[in-house]
Structures are given as structure tokens and as C-alpha cells.
Structure 1
Amino acid sequence: MVRAAGPSRPWCLAIRGVLAFALCAPVMARADGLLVFAAASLKPSLDAILAMPEAAALGARASYAASSQLARQIEAGAPAALFISADQDWMDHVERHALVVEGTRANLVGNALVLVAPKDSATKLDIAPGFALAAALGKDGRLALAEPNSVPAGKYAKAALTKLGIWDGVATRVVAADDVRAALNFVARGEAVLGVVYRSDAVSEPAVRVVATFPEATHAPIVYPVAILAGHDAPAARKLLDLLRAPAGRAIFREHGFDAPPE
């Protein structure tokens, strides 16, 4: 797994401090609104839903990042009213810390995992046990994934490639991104030969094309749970939760490549 080389440790610590302040400051400054913490892959669809008059009237806004990062921020006291995770594990993590309002957790949408290439790529692959992914990367090509040990999209991707018996052959070729949208951008810019992202990400990015879809049996069901967070159980939060689950909201999710959550 490849990561870009970083600066020396003192500079790293200083930069991290500045970035942490920069990331937290906007949230702190706007803590009085209805803030939704949502997995990065939801951005195009959730932005469209929050632009609906009913949601705009609630003053709702979203902050996007990897589910792992958002869950840790919630644990640290970030003032989010709702959380939408890209997997059950990080919602479970938040719930274990008694930060989910009882009875509000629900499975919102489902998704699929796809192999993508830059739009002009001629790569053709059929996903099956032992398929020639390493060969398709060529001599120096990279495979873009979300971070495979903590970010849901990366975890699904690693699980699928392991199930198919090829993870060990491509692990050193992986470029691990902070979240799935960042992995998508590596492919869209031609900086990675191939990438594994959600179907919804591929739908939203015209600079990539889907090479193949991973069989559902190769990874755990992709489910996005949603819940109201402790301390924010107000009528506005309940109304937004209803809007996300209403037919109009579900239609927008479908337009952006999501589907109904698995039973």
C-alpha cells in the first residue's frame, strides 16, 4: 500500500495542528444549525436533498468525510444532529458510546462496489476469482482505494479482493485515499489506472467509466445507516430524518446510483 512521502515530524505536527483547527473551526462557529455528518460518497445525492425547499427551511447543512473520521469527531463532541455512515460498523461504534437516540437508527440506502477506469481507458476485465487485476495495472500503474483498514469503501474493496484471491498480488500497488471520493478523483485525473469505488461515485463522475461490478457475494452488504445523535432529538431533526426516508428523498438517492438497503 502506497502513501505519498510526508514532511519531517516537527512540520507534520505543526501542519496537523493547523489543519485540525481549520476543520473544527467552521463546525464550532456554526454549531447552532442542523448539521448532518455524512459519508463522503453521499455528497452529490445529499446535497440535492438538502436543496429541497422542505430541507432548506430547516437550515440543514452537511459535512462530508470518511465515516471513520466522522464517527471519531462525534465521539469527541462534534455538534452533529444526524449521522449517516457508509457501513454498520461505524454507526455501531457511535451507538456503543451512547450517542445515538434510541429508536431513530434505520437503514437508509444500499450501494454496489465497482471497478472504474478513466473514461478513455480501453481496459476490459471480468471480475471472477483470480482475475488479472495486477496485469491490468501494467508495470507502474496504481489501484486507487479508500483507506482499506478503516474507511468503509476501502474495507469493502479489500474484503472483495481478498475473497477473489488477488489482494496479496495488488496490495503494494494500492494508493490509499482519505475517503472514497478522493479515490475516485485519482482515477478521474488519470493518476491511477483503476480504482474501486461505489456505484454512486461512478454515476456522479463523467471522467470515469465502470469496468465491472463486484458480485455481492464478495463483500458484506453495503448499507448506509442513519440516526439522530444524542442531544439533538428535536422536531427539526425528526423532520429531516423523515425527509431522507420519504419517497422524494429515496428517488434522489436512486438517481445518484443508490438503491434500497438490503433486507
Structure 2
Amino acid sequence: MKWQQSLCLFLFCSLLATPGMAADDTSVTVFAAASLKNAMDDVATAYEKHHPQTDLKISYAGSSTLARQIEAGAPADVYVSANERWMDQLEKDGLIRADSRRDLLRNALVLVAPTDSSTQIAMTNPLDLAAALPQGRYLAMADTQSVPAGIYGRQALQHLGAWDDMSQRIAQAEDVRAALALVARGEAPLGIVYASDALAEDDVKVVARFPADTHDPIIYPAALTRQADSSAAAGFLMFLSAPEAAKRFQRWGFQVVDEAD
């Protein structure tokens, strides 16, 4: 009887995990990179209009923080990372459903300053960024060892020959939105963030754009976690690639990855 009970349970769970086979009345927990907040909130609002009985719960943080929480057993259904490294790690550990993984978005890296700043910087190689910082002031960046925006920023500074001069003059924040806030409040005269972040914050302006070839491609992969157990989770993941979601992501400065890319 035990094996029959196990089989019934397996079949029941399989039905729940198959889109269209379960009721919409459920909750879906999404772990998403901090840089996605404005866009993902917009997308979530659109999704909930079509699926009013689905309760979306979205947690935003650095991709590394979220990945470690999933590794520790946090109850996430969908994970959207700001780089491939942390998604690769979860896939290697068997913590996402590999067949659900898809590249969702692209982004760009920019240098921002407070809106009232008169700073002007030419994106040259080598880049003399240290000269643009007042004495005793720091460049705001997300953690350059683990957070994707910080990793991309470090790569760009290394490529442009500025890392050695700047490495001791960086105010490292827990995620890219925290770095953005330092600049918006005037606590840092310059910061490296995503183009989408700059668009979402009225109190900063873009003073330079890093060439795409100075850092790894900024890709946002998305996937179901291993523990996702409802059709609603798969439905929301599918919606992230739908035209309606694409318009909203683009509105917030992201580039949508075409399936043919």
C-alpha cells in the first residue's frame, strides 16, 4: 500500500506542477535581483490582473544573497538572477528545474551622479576616474565580489585600467539599489549601476555609459526552483516572457532577450 500511496502523491504533485492542471488559487514566491524591483512590480501588477486569485510574493535582494537563501532552503518558487553565475550554481546543485531555465533580459552598465552634479567624465581607456572624485569621497558600487552589478563594474574598471587606483576608494553596498541610493542621497558623488536603475531614480543622472565590451554580457536568467509545486509558478514564469511583460520591462530600461538570441 505504501508504494501505491507514494505513486498517488507523485501523480497529484505532477498535476499541480503542470500548467493548466491546477486551480489558480495559490501563492507564488519570487526571488528577484534588486535591480528588477520597479519593473518586476509593474509586471506582477499586470499578472495579478489576469490571475486575481494568485498571490504573488516577491523578495528583492542581491542575486548572491537570494541564491544562498535558496541553498539554505528558503521557500522560493521562481528565481530571477542578474547574472548567469548564481543560476549556474543553483543548477549545478540541483536546486532549480533546468528545463525551465531561460534567459529573460539584458541590461547595460552606467556611471551616475546626483542630478545637481556638474561632473563630466569621458569614457576613455585608460579611465582616470580617481581624478573625478573629490578628496575623501568614494565611488558607490554593489559588492564587487559577489553581487552581479559589482562584479560587472569591477570588470569594467579593470578593462579600462582604473581598478588599481579605485579599489581603495569604493563604498561597497549590499546590492545595486543600495549603491544607487548612496548617490541619490548625495552620500557618494559617483556610482556604478545598471541603466535600468538610473531610469528608476529621479535624483541621479547618467554621466557616462560603459562600453559593452568592458564587461561580461549582463544577462538575467529565470527559472523555477526545484521546490516549485504549483501551476501558478510555471504560469508566472511563462508570463515573464510574454509580450505584455516585455513592454513593461522595456519601459523600465531593460532589453528583452529574443528566443532566437
Q: TM-score range by the shorter chain?
A: 0.7 to 0.9
The counterpart of 1:73, out of the listed 69, 72, 86, is 69
Query: Are the equivalent residues in 2 in contact too, given 1:38–1:65 (CA < 8 A)?
Result: yes
The answer to whether the aligner puts 1:177 opposite 2:138 as a matched pair is no
Shift of 1:57: 3.6
Aligned match of 2:188: 192
Aligned match of 1:227: 223
The counterpart of 1:41, out of the listed 13, 17, 35, is 35
Distance in 1 of aligned mates of 2:53 and 2:251: 23
Matching residue's letter, 1:200: S
Q: TM-score, normalised by structure 1?
A: 0.86
Matches within 5 A, 1:76-87: 76-87=72-83
Query: Are the equivalent residues in 2 in contact too, given 1:142–1:175 (CA < 8 A)?
Result: yes
Q: RMSD of the TM alignment (CA)?
A: 1.2
Partner secondary structure for residue 255 of structure 2: coil
Shift of 1:55: 5.1
The counterpart of 2:214, out of the listed 200, 211, 218, is 218
Partner secondary structure for residue 38 of structure 2: helix
Q: How many residues align?
A: 232
Distance in 1 of aligned mates of 2:152 and 2:199: 19
Query: Are the equivalent residues in 2 in contact too, given 1:71–1:94 (CA < 8 A)?
Result: yes
The counterpart of 1:131, out of the listed 108, 119, 127, is 127
The structure number with the bigger radius of gyration is 2
Deviation per residue, 1:89-136 (Å, 9 max, x gap): 000111111011131000010000000000000111111211221010
Query: Are the equivalent residues in 1 in contact too, given 2:43–2:248 (CA < 8 A)?
Result: yes
Query: Are the equivalent residues in 1 in contact too, given 2:79–2:223 (CA < 8 A)?
Result: yes
Structure 2 residue ranges without an equivalent (≥5): 1-25
Paired-residue identity, %: 47
Following TM superposition, the consecutive aligned residue runs of length 4 or more in structure 1 with deviations greater than 2 angstroms are 54-57, 260-263
Structure 1 residue ranges without an equivalent (≥5): 1-31
Distance in 2 of aligned mates of 1:133 and 1:87: 25
Matches within 5 A, 1:154-169: 154-169=150-165
Matches within 5 A, 1:236-247: 236-247=232-243
Query: Are the equivalent residues in 1 in contact too, given 2:76–2:227 (CA < 8 A)?
Result: no
Distance 1:197 1:139, change over 3 A: same
Shift of 1:56: 4.6
Matching residue's letter, 1:147: D
